Amino acid sequence: MQQVIIKYNPYRLETEIFVNDQNICDDNHYNSFKKFIENKTPLQNWVEPILYENWKGIINELVDEECTESVDIIFYGRKIDFNDLQRACVSQNAKRAMDKKVRITYSINKELSDEKLSQDIDIVMKELLCDRFKMMVEERSENTTLHERYRNLENSYERAKSKEFKVVFAGLYSCGKSTMLNALIRRNILPTSDNTCTAKNCRIKHEKKMKNQVSLECFDINGKTVVEKEIFNSDTECKARFCEIAPIGKSESNPKTVDTIEVCLDLSYLYPSENMEKKFQLVIVDTPGCNSTKTKNIVSEGNHHVQIALDAIHDENKEMVVICADGQDYEEESIGMFLKEIVESADEDGGNFNDRFLFVLNKCDLKKYNKEETVDAAKKEYADYLTNPNKWGISTECHNTSFVPRIFMVCGYPALALIEGVVNLSDEELAEDEEKQNFSQAYRSFHEKIIKFKNHKFYLSEACDIPEYRKNEFTDKFEVALSKDDEASAIEIQTGIVCIESAIKDYIERYAYPIKVRSLIETFDSILNDVAEFANVETQKLRERTANLGKNTSEREEVEEKRVREEEKTKKLSAVKTEVEQQKKAIAKIKFDHGKMNNIRKNLEVKIETSSEIIEVRENNNKYSAEKVASLMESIEQIFDEAWKIASSNFEKMTIEYKSQLSSIIEGLKGIIVNIEKNNNYDLAGYNFLHSVSSDKIIHLDINKIRDEINDTKETIDGYCKMVHNPIKDEQYNWYQFGKKLKQFFAPDKKAQWTEAQELYNVEIINISLTNILTDFRKLCELTEKNYTSDIENIKKQVKQIANDLIADFENTIKDIKSLEDRIEKLGNNMDGLQREMQESEGRLKWLKNLKNIIDGV
């Protein structure tokens, strides 16, 4: 019998595993586990097999395939995490050969719960804000990192208690996003159209008290109300008001200052449980289509609607982001801005929260399959499109490209038709309403594929990337619905919308609360460890003083000992300062190599200008056929694409090199802290500087987290856009759409000097366009260099400040210990006074340890 103890704390993302009482991190036989444990990967992410990591799943990694001994799994953690672990083990064991199956027993030794932790956080917070604790902090030297973190404690608490959890929808316009969202929220209130619906973002907020009603309110860009809250008894009324405020196809709203439209309705069904509903106010955010002309210059004019989605990707609360596209026409360059940010976020998280990104292909009921074509092939084609680093200019040297997108194939229109009650509409009702006719037609077509022909290519719940047990649940519900002749329920399941609902509920249930409180718990740990450490020093000093009473030590000897200690402290403090100054000098030496990038850019420009296609355009005044022009444009587009990929890759490589240097400096600072304790030669009177808030800040420092805190302009880097007015048709393109920018010069136009009948084109226009695009390329490189430089300088500034804080806090610690020693010395030989002080100090220390135990769930 092999005993396996698994302790998983989702609030700290810490996992401990013991096999027969030995920690597997100390056993080389289980090396494969270390990366997940050390990287603090959520348990759900690695209980299942991971093909690209060559990870066979937790039970297969614990028990060799040739081994059949029994395994007793004892779990410490939440019930939901235990269920996921057990489900994974059962699934993996079931796939083993009959003679290789393992007999597994499961039990929960200690169960954690979100509800209990929420109560404990409130208890500890109340204690930390009380006068008793506040006084202990104030006794320490001012302007320390401890004071700064304590001052921000209430803000950290309020952020953690915030009841909003966002699911941000972004993607391409005309992909049916609004229709799909209406189906998801089970209300037909968002305007829908084949054209761009609105340039405003919409917040759909849960309010249980609304029941069957819905409210609408509008805010300006600063969050000020510009349309007072109105309550509607029907979706039709709300939708009509929505269209008055944000007319379909119009960029301007009424009133013009409207920036955000907020609707409130009952979304209870999207919560995993009533308890979870009390913790969060779910908000679904619908942003305008990123490839719509109404989004205008995505970066140059600071389009903050797109920025909402981009910010959500890097949000520390790891909220959900849903990228939507048309299942028939998903190729669009602008989706690249999301892919680059998602890949970068996945790098920073080590792929820990990939479940929060959903890639939805809508209108899959309209897809036309070839006879041999399969749904899996269609999904793989989209997955390959999303993960093609060359497509998006993502350097494989700079990023981990093992990110695996979760793809959902759905059809929003038939799902919304069901919500609109299309199955119960009479012919007379249909005749009076064209929208209902469209619903009826879409439903009948999908109904025929599912019910009449039983075409499994349109059983969309089977095509969505949800866990196998969830798919089985939906399959069972589908079969039950059919057996009861409940065709509407059966078809609803196969629209795939229920899979999106399931993905949202599952993610919220597993991660939402732990992620929300993780930062607050780290703050509690940091403050409590520091204050408790100092209280421990106080207790030890009082014990030493009490124990030394009555010893024959002359006053002169005491003075001399004190003088020697102070000299040693001064000398050692100076040594620490010298080490830190060396790291600060290393920071100052890190500078962006403008000369190197300038040479790269110039070489690329030469490469562009000396390409045979460019030379042909520059030196030839002949007229070309449409086919020749198309060929030239395709080649030129590829030339500029390749040039930018090279430039972008070099920018990233250089920046990663500089960040690596900064990370080494941070490691150097961490080393200084460790040596303070390791060498035990800084006479901190037993105070463990590793437990100080200052040390905690450095030891848990992540270079990427610093970067996230900076208001960086990476969107400007990735999305520089020159708006070109086309006399043929008004259109706007991003910098990377070189081919489209060229093609617009040849699009037919009644006012052009040629007509559709002409077959020859003057390449002089291409020449002019090339010059403009080359100028764009040069500006883009300059702008990118400027922003990467700013990024590095901001990080340097913060790392330097951290180094300064380290010295200041170390000096303050020494000063605080001296003040403590002086205070104890003033008590003299008063045994009663010393014992009274010691009793109070021990009481404080016991109280602090109890608070720590509460947060640890002990």
Cα dihedral sign, 153-692-517-857: negative
Q: Quick check: is 567 in a domain? A: yes
Q: If pLDDT is split at 50, 70 and 90, which confidence band does 91 have?
A: very high
Q: What is the three-class DSSP state of 676?
A: helix
Distance CA 13, CA 40 (A): 5
> Could you tell me if residue 305 is inside a domain?
no
pLDDT value, residue 113 = 92
Domain of 448? 411-495
b (16+ CB within 10 A) / e for 557-579:
eeeeeeeeeeeebeebbeebeeb
Same domain assignment for residues 672 and 774: yes
Please say if the pLDDT value at position 652 is more than 70. yes
pLDDT value at residue 731: 57
Q: Is the pLDDT of residue 715 over 90?
A: no
Mean pLDDT of 721-741: 45
Which of 450, 469, 495 represents a domain boundary (last residue)? 495
Using DSSP's 3-state secondary structure scheme, residue 558 falls into helix
Checking if the pLDDT of 395 tops 70, the result is no
How does 706-745 read in b/e, with b if 16+ C-beta sit within 10 Å?
bbeeeebbbbbbbbbbbebeeeeeebbbbbbbbbebbbbb
In this prediction, residue 854 carries a pLDDT of 93
Between CA 276 and CA 464 the distance in angstroms is 25
Beta-strand pair 164-171/320-326: parallel
Is residue 122 domain-resident? no
SS3 (DSSP) at 249: coil
Which of 802, 819, 844 is at the close of a domain? 802
Please name the residues in contact with 256: beta carbons below 8 A apart, sequence gap of 6 or more. none
608 versus 731: which is more confidently predicted?
A: 608
Please work out, in degrees rounded to the nearest 5, the angle formed at the alpha carbon of residue 660 by the alpha carbons of 658 and 666: 110
pLDDT above 90: percentage of residues in the chain: 43
Q: Which of 184-193, 455-464, 692-701, 766-775 has the lowest mean pLDDT?
A: 692-701
Residue 425's pLDDT band, with cuts at 50, 70 and 90, is very high
- Does residue 466 carry a pLDDT above 90? yes
The Cα 310–Cα 341 span in angstroms is: 7
- Which has more pLDDT, 550 or 445? 445
At residue 679, the pLDDT reads 55
| Amino acid 124: pLDDT | 96
| pLDDT band for position 269 (cuts 50, 70, 90) | very high
Residue 756 has pLDDT above 80, yes or no: no
User: What is residue 69's predicted lDDT score, i.e. its pLDDT?
Assistant: 79
Name the least confident of 103-117, 341-355, 357-371: 341-355
Do residues 22 and 99 both lie within one domain? Answer: yes
Helices in 95-113 by DSSP H: which ranges?
none
Structure tokens at 664: 């080494």
Across 423-429, average pLDDT: 92
- 544 located within any domain: no
pLDDT band at 720 (very low <50, low <70, confident <90, very high): very low
Do 601 and 454 lie in a common domain?
A: no
For residue 24, is it left (φ>0), alpha (ψ between -120 and 50) or beta? alpha
Mean pLDDT over residues 716-722, rounded?
33
Give domain status of residue 213, yes or no: no
Residues ≥6 apart with Cβ < 8 Å to 69: 1, 2, 63, 102
Does residue 740 or residue 352 have the better pLDDT?
352
Same domain, 489 and 573: no
Highest-confidence segment of 141-155, 559-573, 727-741: 141-155
Can you list the pairs that 629-632 forms with residues at least 24 positions away whose Cβ atoms lie under 8 Å? 629/746, 629/761, 629/763, 629/766, 632/763, 632/766
Residue 604, exposed/middle/buried by CB under 10 A (0-12, 13-18, 19+)? buried
What average pLDDT score do residues 728-744 get?
49
Sign of the CA dihedral with 110 first, then 114, 116, and 120 last: positive
How much is the pLDDT for 713?
28
pLDDT score of 757 more than 60: no
From CA 56, how far away is CA 48, in angstroms rounded? 7
Residue 132 lies in a domain: no
Residue 569: half-sphere exposure toward Cβ, Cα within 13 Å = 17
Q: How distant is the alpha carbon of residue 825 from its chain centre?
A: 53
Residue 763 and residue 654 share a domain? yes
Looking at the structure, do residues 637 and 714 belong to the same domain, yes or no? Answer: yes
Rounded Cα distance between 484 and 308, Å, is 45
Q: Please say whether the beta carbons of 73 and 89 come within 8 A.
A: yes
How much is the average pLDDT of 680-699?
A: 54
Residues found in the chain:
858
Quote the pLDDT of residue 612.
86
Q: For the segment 504-554, what is each residue's pLDDT rounded down to a tens digit?
A: 999 999 998 998 898 899 999 999 999 998 999 899 889 888 887 756 556
Task: Mark whether 99 and 34 lie in a shared domain.
Answer: yes
361 to 31, 175, 317, 390: CA distances (angstroms): 39, 8, 26, 22
Q: Are residues 487 and 575 in the same domain?
A: no
| The two structure tokens encoding residue 97 | 């050969």
Give 803-851 pLDDT, tens digit per residue: 888 888 888 888 888 888 888 888 877 888 888 999 999 999 999 999 9
Tokens coding 750 = 């009644």
Q: Does the pLDDT value for residue 783 go beyond 80?
A: no
State yes or no: pLDDT of 375 exceeds 90. Answer: yes
The pLDDT, as a whole number, for residue 362 is 96
User: Which amino acid belongs to residue 827?
Assistant: L
Q: CB neighbours (10 Å) of residue 287?
A: 23
Q: Does some domain include residue 224?
A: no
* Segment 563-577 mean pLDDT: 77
Give CA–CA dist 755/854, Å, rounded.
79
Question: Token pair for residue 691?
Answer: 């437990």
Mean pLDDT of 680-706: 52
Identify the domain boundary among 112, 139, 162: 112
Q: Are 601 and 750 contained in the same domain?
A: yes
On the question of pLDDT at 234 being above 90, the answer is yes
Q: Are residues 437 and 558 in the same domain?
A: no
Report which of 184, 188, 190, 166 is spatially closest to residue 498, judged by C-alpha positions: 184
Give 402's pLDDT tier (boundaries 50, 70, 90).
low
Minimum mean pLDDT among 166-170, 442-446, 533-537, 563-567: which range? 563-567
Whether the per-residue pLDDT at 73 is higher than 90: the answer is: yes
Q: Are residues 563 and 679 in the same domain?
A: yes
Number of domains in the chain: 3
| Res 658: pLDDT | 83
Residue 348 in any domain: the answer is: no
Helix extents (H) in 13-169: 31-38, 58-62, 79-94, 114-128, 131-138, 145-151, 153-161
Same domain for 15 and 100?
yes
The string of pLDDT tens digits covering residues 280-305 is: 899 999 988 775 443 333 333 345 66
Q: How high is the mean pLDDT of the chain?
A: 82
- The confidence score (pLDDT) of residue 380 equals 93
pTM: 0.79
